[in-house]
Amino acid sequence: MKKNAAKKTPAKTTAANASKTTESLDIGLDAKIRQGSVKALSGILADQHVLYLKTRNFHWNLTGHRFHTLHAFFEAQYTALAEAIDETAERIRMLGAASPGSMKEFLALASLQECAGELIGGDEAIALLRDDHEAAARALRDAVDSTDEAGDAGTADFLTKLLQNHEEAAWMLRSFLE
């Protein structure tokens, strides 16, 4: 019996498969507007993944006297982020584009920085997560403005809800530090 020595390699974006990343649709937005919204949503999705993994990391590696309280709080936050991730990817699909789906893509698109897995104290974890939620809120505010100005009310409305969620998360995190 011969062993197949051929290696599987990831598909590369070529002219032949580039058409698989967008769909033709008629929802009242021209392709250029949809493309701008998809670009903004893709960056937001990437940041959501980085923030999700950072929150899980801190949930796992948390130390200190508030361990139980923060452990449960971080779990609630990463659960909410998981839902937002799904909704963001689905919004990209609603606009007729393929959603980024690999860690390589997310890290290339993200503006937030990941943290290595190591033990972390509660106040440090809270401050890092607060800063990321505030950065996400600032980025979302810009994306709401640009998608609204472009005439993509559906995406602007969707992003406004995400913005409010990040503002609330940052507020809750700040309350732990006061």
Q: Give the pLDDT confidence score for residue 21 in this predicted structure.
A: 54
DSSP secondary structure code for residue 29 in this structure? -
Please, what are the domains in the chain?
Answer: 28-177 (1.20.1260.10)
Q: Return the percentage of the chain with pLDDT > 90, whole number.
A: 82
**Phi, psi values for residue 111, rounded to 5°:** -100, -20
Q: Does pLDDT of 143 surpass 90?
A: yes
The 10s digit of each residue's pLDDT in 98-133 is: 999 999 999 999 999 999 999 999 999 999 999 999
Q: Could you give the 3-state DSSP secondary structure of residue 4?
A: coil
Q: What is the mean pLDDT of residues 140-155?
A: 97
Residues in CB range of 111: below 8 A, 6 or more apart: 43, 46, 47, 135, 139
Provide the mean pLDDT of the chain: 89
Q: Read off the pTM.
A: 0.86
Token pair listed for 142: 């810009």
Q: Which residue(s) pair with 121 in the sheet? A: 63
Residues in CB range of 90: below 8 A, 6 or more apart: 99
